[in-house]
Amino acid sequence: MNLYFYSFTIVIINKTNPLIAIGMKQIIFLFIACVIHYSLHAEDGYRLWLRYDKIDDKNLLSQYSNQISFVHFTDSTPAILAAKEELLNGLEGLLDKKIFFNDQIQDGTVLAGTIQNSNIRSLVSAGDINKIGKEGFIIQTADVNKKKIIVIAANTGIGVLYGCFHFLRLLQTHQSIQQLSVVSAPSIQLRMLDHWDNLNRTVERGYAGISVWNWQTLPVYIDKRYKDYARANASIGINAVALNNVNANATILTKAYLLKVAALANVFRPYGIKVFLSARFSAPMEIGNLKTADPLDPNVQQWWKQKADEIYTYIPDFGGFLVKANSEGQPGPQNYNRTHADGANMLADALAPHNGVVIWRAFVYSNANDDRFKQAYDEFQPLDGKFKNNVLLQVKNGPIDFQPREPFHPLFGAMPATPLMMEFQLTQEYLGFATHLVYLAPLFKECLDADTYANGKGSTVARVIDGSLNKHVVTGMAAVANIGNTINWTGHPFAQANWYAFGRLAWNHEVSSAQIAEEWIRQTFTNTKPDVDTIKNMMLASREILVDYMTPIGLHHIMGYSHHYGPAPWYNKAERADWNPVYFHKADSEGIGFDRTATGSNALGQYMPEVRKAFEDSNTCDEKYLLWFHHVSWDHKMRSGRNLWGELCYKYYTGVDSVRWMQQAWNHIQPAIDAERFQQVKMLLEVQYNEAAWWRNACVLYFQTFSKMPLSKGYPQPDHDLNYYEQLVFPYAPGIGGNQ
């Protein structure tokens, strides 16, 4: 349309004044060239990291091109067909040439298939085959009758698909493929996204548009997004998805909706993704006409058995149920004086004949307890060993709720007889929504690498959840999705990195945050080393920067009430004390922080002695967690030499300044980034800067009312007084849902 418009303009100009027209013509052509250039390079982010544009390094391109000309797939199962389509598209895009299918093995063949094929079997070692299990893969260079080929082998079609994605990633990130010897298998079985998507398409704590699932047009209309979603997940090894919000609506379990769910499951199946549903515990009453949902009632048990049988007639590989029970008003077994184990086991029995599993959430807390921190441990730890073996207990990374920094949840390591599943949050409910650039891999790794000391030193959280510590066979890691129907899926272009990082870590929790960032940058933005490094440095620093300007030194849960937008450390009007920020920071004229040692709530007593010891003394406690565990006086001496008040101000001011640093770094690499995403990130960084300054100003002014100490010299005074910040209201705050 642009081209048509401009050529039309030229004709008019030529007719009216031929002399001006020559000069004008050049200008207009230049303009058109710019338009074409821009539109070729415009990137709306829809392709995520699966961008298969021509490799821009000439030498590398010719090397790759010499090595790859044909593909040969040995089977044609749905997963293999998906692999074939992806590999072909990927290679043709990256190498900018036609790739041929070939039944013969020739120089430059990529031979992909399962070990059922004798050719493949003869090329890979039995030892490697044993290592890769059901989902792993082998990629290696080989010589067959003097022909140089590349083999992608696996035990299953899904393994082959994962291998193809990995191979494409090697090319996208400009790795050498001359001597390949990759053997890779996932360390965790269920690698899962939990969508908090409601049936009306609102997304609880969602900041990237409405739900991608269009329940109205399903099961007939299959949106292109469903397949692209499956491709993206498969490319990073995600193999399970809970489609609906854990604050569940029982309607999803009615036949009409199950058929819609089945349609999605059909799209996901070739990509190795199993569908789960969040089940509302009271569903037998709401859609089954029963008078009770008591898990020990035979009619209730029968209802769930029949429901499970019905689901499996539509979705033969249905994964199972995810359940939030007796938490934040959701119904559960405790409504009938039964335990969580009674509830979970009833559902487990219904699913067991079909090999389904129950994922029961441990996110419970109550106002009755003196410290919300302790509730999940108190309720669940005594139930260790009481769950059926197809139940996993899903535990949030920290004891409160997805804060910018939390110590690891004390249940990790405390329930050796129960498989514990990790729950992370990708949607940035407490980390600046989809507006702040925050790379979450360091947060995930901090938790995974933490030592629980459950079986002595080295009993890391990662080893609890990958099953190696207590020899569990069912294992899982989930993350609350940050996906919506916005064009780039996640709102902030950098939020895609969190989806990516989660998948990569669920596959292999030993990969470093830096390596994952580098891979993602190379696939998503650029392969030019200095630019990669600049972006990587921003990403790696971003989480600590956010902690500094939001909740430094172990502060937590001091955000706006209910919508969780912006700072509100003063808030004390919630209907429950444990929803009030003042409950968490406990600032007074003496000092600030939550005493969780033996002189306080003794939440620390829930950890192993070694962990307790590391935290229990305010003089030796890692300062990152100081106010998590201690009420510390304003003049407490910090390691920097500053007093606590001085350190708090230092952190808030440094945090905001560091966002300026991120802005400068981003501006610096403008030439390396396409115009559309460059501009998007630039604008978002400006919003982030403003919001960081708002956090700093509001928090410093509020805490100053207790410390009564001045700001250090050189720190600019906040733009407004405290009253101004306290009066701000946000009728537009995004991320519908939540009751606190």
Phi, psi of 216 (to 5 degrees): -65, -45
Residue 192 backbone class (left: φ over 0; alpha: ψ -120 to 50; beta: rest) = beta
Residue 435 C-beta: closest distance to ligand GCW, Å? 17
* Percent helix / strand / coil, the chain, rounded to 5: 45, 10, 45
Residue 402 C-beta: closest distance to ligand GCW, Å? 6
Q: Which is nearer to ligand GCW, 204 or 466 (CB)?
A: 204
Residue 241 C-beta: closest distance to ligand GCW, Å? 16
Cα 565–568–571 angle (5° rounding)?
125
Residue 343 C-beta: closest distance to ligand GCW, Å? 16
User: Can you tell me the distance from the alpha carbon of 219 to that of 265, in angstroms, rounded to the nearest whole number?
Assistant: 10
39 sits in which H/E element: helix 18-41
User: Can you tell me the distance from the alpha carbon of 425 to that of 479, in angstroms, rounded to the nearest whole number?
Assistant: 5
Tokens of 108: 């430059």
Q: Which is nearer to ligand GCW, 191 or 324 (CB)?
A: 324
**Which entry of 228, 286, 317, 328 is annotated as an active-site residue?**
328
Q: Three-class SS string for 599-664?
A: CCCCHHHHCCHHHHHHHHCCCCCCHHHHHHHCCEECCCECCCCCEHHHHHHHHHHHHHHHHHHHHH
Measured from each CB, the residue nearest to ligand GCW is: 738
User: Can you tell me the distance from the alpha carbon of 504 to that of 637, in angstroms, rounded to the nearest whole number?
Assistant: 41
In terms of C-beta density within 10 A (0-12 exposed, 13-18 middle, 19 or more buried), how is residue 357 classed?
buried
Q: Which is nearer to ligand GCW, 205 or 696 (CB)?
A: 205
Q: Which is nearer to ligand GCW, 479 or 699 (CB)?
A: 479
User: Can you tell me the distance from the alpha carbon of 488 to that of 232, in angstroms, rounded to the nearest whole number?
Assistant: 12
Tokens 């599943």 found at: 421
Q: Which is nearer to ligand GCW, 97 or 201 (CB)?
A: 201
Q: Which residues contact 645 (CB under 8 A, 6 or more apart)?
A: 634, 635, 703, 707, 709
Q: Which residues bind ligand GCW (CB under 6 A)?
A: 196, 204-205, 246-247, 324, 328, 363, 401-402, 429, 737-738
**Which entry of 197, 371, 401, 518 is annotated as an active-site residue?**
401
Tokens 């093995």 found at: 105
User: Can you tell me the distance from the alpha carbon of 605 to that of 615, in angstroms, rounded to the nearest whole number?
Assistant: 11
Q: Which is nearer to ligand GCW, 364 or 469 (CB)?
A: 364
β-pairing, 137-144 vs 100-101, is: unpaired
User: Can you tell me the distance from the alpha carbon of 718 to that of 704, in angstroms, rounded to the nearest whole number?
Assistant: 12
Dihedral sign for Cα atoms in the order 396, 401, 403, 409: negative
For residue 322, the cross-strand partners are: 278, 359
- 466 labelled catalytic: no
User: Can you tell me the distance from the alpha carbon of 406 to that of 397, in angstroms, rounded to the nearest whole number?
Assistant: 8
Residue 363 C-beta: closest distance to ligand GCW, Å? 5
Q: Which is nearer to ligand GCW, 361 or 543 (CB)?
A: 361
User: Can you tell me the distance from the alpha carbon of 593 to that of 367, in angstroms, rounded to the nearest whole number?
Assistant: 19
In terms of C-beta density within 10 A (0-12 exposed, 13-18 middle, 19 or more buried), how is residue 35 classed?
middle
Q: Which is nearer to ligand GCW, 273 or 376 (CB)?
A: 376
Residue 242 C-beta: closest distance to ligand GCW, Å? 11
Q: Which is nearer to ligand GCW, 363 or 424 (CB)?
A: 363
- 674 labelled catalytic: no
**Which entry of 135, 429, 616, 691 is annotated as an active-site residue?**
429
User: Can you tell me the distance from the alpha carbon of 358 to that of 344, in angstroms, rounded to the nearest whole number?
Assistant: 7
Q: Which is nearer to ligand GCW, 214 or 740 (CB)?
A: 740
- Amino acid 128 reads D
A 10 A CB-CB count for 670 gives: 11
- 401 labelled catalytic: yes
Indicate which residues carry an active-site annotation.
328, 401, 429
